Amino acid sequence: MKLHYRKYGEGQPLVILHGLFGSSDNWQTLGKKFAENFEVYLVDQRNHGHSPKSNEFNYQLLSDDLYKLITDLELENIILIGHSMGGKTVMHFAQQHPTFIEKLIVVDIGPKAYPMHHNIILEGLNAIDLSITKSRSKADKQLSKYIEDIGVKQFLLKNLYWVEKGQLGWRINIPVLEEKIPDIIAAIPDKIVDTPTLFIRGEKSNYIVEDDFQNIYDQFPNSEIETIYDVGHWVHAENPFSFYNMVMDFSK
């Protein structure tokens, strides 16, 4: 599959993959900042953003999509960043294609399997009937019945777009993502990655807890784990300054 991407700057390639229900658009501010030093590629994974939709969705396919993008663009010596689901994609990619990567940065996700925890989000998204919901404000009101956090609501509603005048549509492929949630929360293969790797976790997030550290070090022996304090799962959005500095320090 040929993925959509946004490109900024020039220099060593830095490729960023978003998480579940996200898109390259979520990374534009940081991407443009990184572009002062790198050639930045913000990628939409399949069933997200402007990339094609597909009934198939698992980490092997997401890794294959990334491989096609990287080889089509003839990129090498890459700094590869992935948040959440995107973090599992880049870990999986590093297992299969380590020679493309100089450094790997995984944001608030580990290689392990996770329990199902997207039920409320999916219920809220499915409750928005776009055949009768004709404005973003009405979609927001409907989603508010399920999700109180304003930041999470805004993040999800950014996936709405105008198909034509008076008709909203979703850029995310909600039915397939819901069906494939077991594949999304599954562990990546148990294969050692020697690539220099930085795991960045949010202090208030439960995606990487201290009990996970040894498993991460076993699977990524050339890795370090850093914490950004007073933030949750959306580490890069909640404290972009600390996130930027941490990435830049690791990338030297």
Per-residue pLDDT of the chain (252 residues; tens, 9 = 90+): 999 999 999 999 999 999 999 999 999 999 999 999 999 999 999 999 999 999 999 999 999 999 999 999 999 999 999 999 999 999 999 999 999 999 999 999 999 999 999 999 999 999 999 999 999 999 999 999 999 999 999 999 999 999 999 999 999 999 999 999 999 999 999 999 999 999 999 999 999 999 999 999 999 999 999 999 999 999 999 999 999 999 999 999
The helix or strand, by DSSP H or E, that contains position 106, with its residue range, turns out to be strand 101-107
At 128 the pLDDT is 97
The answer to whether 233 is a known catalytic residue is yes
Report which residue type is found at 146: Y
Tokens standing for 82?
Answer: 């992935």
Q: Choose, from 83, 92, 233, 236, the residue flagged as catalytic.
A: 233
Among 84, 205, 223, 242, the active-site one is 84
Residue pLDDT, tens place only, 78-91: 999 999 999 999 99
**Single-letter amino acid, residue 74:** E
Question: How far apart are alpha carbons 142 and 147 in whole angstroms?
Answer: 9
**DSSP-derived secondary structure letter, 188:** P
Catalytic annotation present for 223: no
One-letter amino acid identity for 89?
T
CA distances from 105 to 181, 192, 207 (A): 23, 16, 15
- Domains defined along the chain, listed by start: 5-114+187-251 (3.40.50.1820), 119-179 (no CATH)
Q: What is the pLDDT of residues 46-62, one digit of tens each?
A: 999 999 999 999 999 99
Q: Report the pLDDT value the prediction gives residue 241, as an integer from 0 to 100.
A: 98
